[in-house]
């Protein structure tokens, strides 16, 4: 533990947490400092000039990262009959209807992304208080309420990231692992940033992207110069 403490102190001492880094430099520094005994996740956080409490200022969506997230995504599907069979064949980790709903009600949620066919939403809607706070509620706008079960599963497994602004107007996501090349992380970061910019709501006034930071699971956060996001 003492050795780990020294390592972290050395990492924190090697960076200037008040400096605004160009995006490329910030990601390169975070990657080079991610030296934990596990493959750390590289994360990006964006502070937006919005108030998500207003419907016309909510930022929410999905983005496919070109190099995936490096994380194994478990997919649960609410479906019956042929669509349930399609989901199983497409690689869904958990498939069911009333039986799956019962497991969720018991707190046995063994999936990271939830997909449902439209006819299942009456059943899934009753699970809103459980799935909603976990960000797992299927939504047609996000493509997770769909008859194209196979396509939705493939997208989720390929590294599709869901984002949603929190109360303070912050959106964040994992954009890969420290074992990724710097180029892969940069391309993933740019894909995420572009998705956030495209999702700018009609009610947003003034500066939209106010602050950006990148970090790894165990490392310090570095401030990013917003002017370099599209460079």
Does residue 1 belong to any structural domain of this protein?
A: no
| Of the candidates 58, 46, 50, the residue with the CA atom closest to the CA atom of residue 205 | 50
175 & 207 share domain:
yes
185 & 119 share domain:
no
Which structural domain range is residue 83 located in?
Answer: 75-157
pLDDT along the chain (231 residues), means of 10: 58 72 94 89 95 90 90 94 97 97 95 96 95 91 93 90 89 94 96 94 92 92 90 58
User: What is the pLDDT at residue 123?
Assistant: 96
Which phi and psi (to 5°) does residue 44 adopt? -125, 140
Query: Cβ–Cβ contacts within 10 Å for residue 7, how many?
Result: 14
Task: State the greatest distance between any 2 C-alpha atoms of the chain, in Å, as a whole number.
Answer: 58
Inter-residue contact 95 to 80 (CB < 8 Å): no
164 & 65 share domain:
yes
Q: How far apart are CA 100 and CA 81, in angstroms?
A: 14
User: What is the pLDDT at residue 26?
Assistant: 94
User: What is the pLDDT at residue 17?
Assistant: 72
Inter-residue contact 40 to 185 (CB < 8 Å): no
Does residue 2 belong to any structural domain of this protein?
A: no
User: What is the pLDDT at residue 55?
Assistant: 87
User: What is the pLDDT at residue 1?
Assistant: 43
Residue that finishes a domain, picked among 133, 157, 181: 157
121 & 47 share domain:
no
């Amino acid at each position: 533990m003492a050795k780990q403490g020294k390592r972290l102190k050395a990492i924190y001492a090697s960076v200037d947490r008040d400096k605004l880094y160009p995006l490329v430099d910030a990601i390169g520094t975070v990657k080079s400092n991610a030296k934990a005994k596990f493959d750390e996740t590289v994360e990006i956080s964006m502070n937006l000039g919005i108030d998500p409490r207003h419907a016309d200022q909510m930022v929410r969506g999905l983005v496919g990262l070109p190099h995936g997230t490096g994380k194994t995504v478990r997919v649960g599907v609410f479906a019956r009959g042929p669509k349930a069979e399609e989901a199983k064949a497409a690689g869904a980790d958990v498939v069911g209807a009333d039986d799956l709903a019962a497991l969720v009600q018991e707190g046995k949620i063994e999936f990271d992304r939830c997909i449902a066919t439209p006819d299942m939403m009456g059943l899934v809607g009753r699970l809103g208080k459980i799935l909603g706070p976990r960000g797992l509620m299927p939504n047609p706008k996000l493509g997770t309420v769909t008859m194209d079960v196979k396509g939705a599963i493939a997208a989720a497994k390929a590294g599709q990231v869901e984002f949603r602004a929190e109360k303070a107007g912050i959106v964040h996501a994992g954009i890969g692992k420290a074992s990724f090349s710097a180029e892969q992380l940069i391309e993933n970061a740019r894909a995420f940033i572009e998705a956030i910019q495209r999702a700018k709501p009609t009610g947003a006034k003034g500066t939209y992207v106010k602050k950006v930071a990148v970090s790894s699971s165990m490392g310090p956060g570095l401030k990013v110069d917003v002017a370099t996001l599209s460079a």
